[in-house]
Chains A and B, each alone.
Chain A
Amino acid sequence: MSIGSPDSTVGVEEHPASAEPVRTAATPHGKSPSRIAFDRLRKDKVAVICASIVLFFILVAVLAPLLAKLEGQDISTFNTRQIDEFGYPTIGITPDHWFGIEPKTGRDNFARWVYGARPSLIIAFLATVVGTAIGVVMGLLAGFLGGWVDRVISWLIDFVLSLPFLLFAIALVPIVESLRGGSFNLTPEDQANIRFYVLIFVLAFFGWAGLARIIRGEVLSLREREFVLAAKAIGVPTWQVLFKELLPNLVAPIVISASLAVPAYVTAEAGLSFLGVGLVEPKPSWGQTIAVATNWYKADPLYLWLPVIGITALVLALALLGDAIRDAFDPKTRR
């Protein structure tokens, strides 16, 4: 199906995960809703193309050392000989340097580009996993237990959602660094590592609340259903009801929310690095390269365009894939 379908404006929360699979002649009995969604996804051309682009970037990230070795360069060698006295590179694209070299330092662009795919993907995926896990547990507890647990968690959700995300992310960086003795006393490697974990923490901290709210709403309606009442009646322990009875019925909202979170986190990570609060040297990262490259974009456009194209293609593919996944899980668009 096409990405601009009339129902693509519908939000995640409106799609009941609990919807029974629509059993028509075309969908044989015994197919789970996830199976049906996956089958629909496979027939969606946009989704397949986007998935291959995402796969390409994952391969680039995983095989980064191999690709750099193939080219014969690494990320930290300063080729100062190919840099003129004003810092401009004297060479363009050569067999030695496939994408040219960085202005001023002369490091290899290709090697830094393939390594730059790593932090974007790792941070986004880790933050999604952590945020989704917290969101699911909080939502399940709030919705199922009700009472004061629900009130506390709902208040927490409101609280997190009313914090200004960007500002808090910026504020957290110097605080965490001062805990470790201040950025002045840290080696560049330590600072880069701290920033890496701070980013995952910040993204997950702000990411769980939205999902928790959706899960809570779903659980509120699910817990009155017969199968849950039956499980409770025969004395199944609460945790088992939560994770064995309820969780399988929440696959759709969880998958949808996670697939929409990944592109958002890639965007956020690169954006924060662009502002100077994300990853720092010596870790190669696209966002940070863009920030530096804006000083050289006239003399060395390739230096700027490489990370720009990387982020744009990756985020676009992830976002359109997320949208296709949402449509595939949506019972309203089932034909």
Chain B
Amino acid sequence: MPIVTIDGRQVEVEQGTSVIQAADRLGVEIPRFCYHPDLRPEGNCRMCLVDVEGFPKPVVACATPVVDGMVVRTPHESPVASKAVNGVLEFLLVNHPLDCPICDQAGECSLQDFYMHPDYGQHQSHVDPVEKVHKRKRVSLGPRIVLDQERCVMCSRCVRFSEEVSGYAELQFVHRGNHVELTAFEDRALEDPYAGNLADVCPVGALTSRDFRFKRRVWHLSHADSVCAGCSTGCNVRIDHFGGRIERVVPRRNPGVNRSWICDEGRLSFRALVAVPRLMYPRQGATELDWSEAVALSHDSLRAASAAQGRPLAALASASATNESLWLFRQYVLAAFPLHRLAFRLEREIAEVSQRQDNLLRRLDKHPNTMGALHLGFDGGEGLDGLLALAESGAIEGLLMLYYPPLVGEESKETRERITRLLHLVPASVVLTTHELPYLTAAKLLLPVATWSEEEGTYTNYQGLTQHADKAVPSRGAVRPAVEVLGDLWHCATAARRQTRPEEIFREIADSVPVFRDLTYASLESRSATAYPPEGRMHYGQEGFAGR
């Protein structure tokens, strides 16, 4: 395999690797607008010009394949490359509106970042007072995206995304020369269900997210690496939050799962968290309880309803719960209820877990952890419908349920009705859930638990890939992570204390369940998505340029 030297550092790469990919691997930062690891290279921005020994003039790193023995010097080391990139930056400003103070891309604008870079930025600011070519600003392209034509650097990432990735091809350039404009036909609202990615791939403030723009300055945001819980694909995301509020969700690159993309439904799924009032306190009917009361009452009522009668406990945990919650749920049921029915299926999860909803990412199963539930020994056959049949025949009298409403779409009417019926039929019911949902009000005891983004845990996607999601924001009210509540219930059953830190629970899972063997949080982290580009700064990220 060819070995290339970049700024004095060597790396061995596969045949066909481009110089920019090799540099990314080494962590040598090469500025770029048009290059994107998940789009066909086009080489139009000319920002990635590098100096290659033996080549008469600088070449673009994105479209130059590495050959063995190649010696490359980037703008950090080569005055030739630095001058070339500096010249390109100057060109980009000739017709740029210079409206940074009112641009929402500020703080994550590649143009700003590059401009300030000591190795190739900061040209003489000899901005020739040419009459700029003016184009349209604030063009609405539907509910997701706002276009500013003047800020566009014509890198064509969005055009390529819409042609090659989503296939909707709704954005194109028109005209020629310095009159080239990015436009949608007749400014039609974008129909692309992946349109949000257009704002992500845009390196400048030309395409911004209508949902996020002017909400926060990006440098005020905190970040948590997570996994989308909107369906069984398990796209890698980053949750950006401020003051305990989620402001936006953006993709993290994971070539094996979602590449650099997420669907709009997943991107906006955090909205579902606040669309319905949260369940804030443990409750028995209309009476609020404190946690110790609630836990004891829950355990006692379930014990009374099942063990005393010699009837099995119906235990239903939806596959939107983390592996850790599911594991403790199961541990508690096994410890306290020798007779039990352990199910997770609300609908057709198993049939749909791998079924595609489209050709890109979305899957029909809107539960992020169906595979996890199966791996952890939940019964895939007997679902909500099976338990309901049992309840109707009077075979069960106690129900423990861990229920999360879907983040994408709604629970179907049939499922909602079945849940309600089940709760009405069973004399003793304890439901751990997140929201005030009308179809759960028949539960005898309601225990508020943390939602996705409020707790740490792992999900196993349709491929059987277990991925780690970090906690982003705190819970409010008396809400606690399900693992803690289940730990308390387990304590009621066994009188023993147990570890409820997700990482510890996962260790226990790895020790007990063969599929998870040898996995640890640390190993999940190290194989999980990378920020793009690797240093993180040039697009999304919080670190500064690696100081050179």
Query: Are A and B co-members of a single complex?
Result: no
Point out residues on B near A: beta carbons under 8 Å: none
Point out residues on A near B: beta carbons under 8 Å: none
